[in-house]
Amino acid sequence: MTVHKSSGGGSAMITKELADDGTIEIDSGKAGFGTIFGGDTGNATIQFSFDTSGNIADMGILGDGAIADTDGKLCVYNNGGIVTIKNRLGSTQNIRYLISSST
């Protein structure tokens, strides 16, 4: 995992190699928003917000992104109250994500 921190703030772009069907869980019980870039060719972009119950709202999807657990897509979804990013693109991919949430 690689973390690229901004020079003046509290946000960080994280890059992680994620196997097919691999997941990344975001802290539960927080509200916020995020952006995910996926696929080694950048073929999926998801912008979303989430509430303290893990519910996801679509703020914009390009390419192979989804806000549900969907085969063939880079996904972000509510997994029992936990915001979860899942690679379902069919192979290991470099996933880049930026999450901003309340503490």
CATH architecture of 2-101: Sandwich (2.60)
Q: For the chain, give the percent of residues with pLDDT over 70.
A: 86
14 and 2 Cβ atoms separated by less than 8 Å: yes
Say what the pTM is: 0.87
Residue 3 pLDDT:
44
pLDDT number for residue 59: 96
User: What are the domain boundaries of the chain?
Assistant: 2-101
Average pLDDT (54-80) is 96
- CB contact set of 59 (below 8 Å; sequence gap of 6+): 33, 47, 48, 49
pLDDT for residue 87 is more than 90? yes
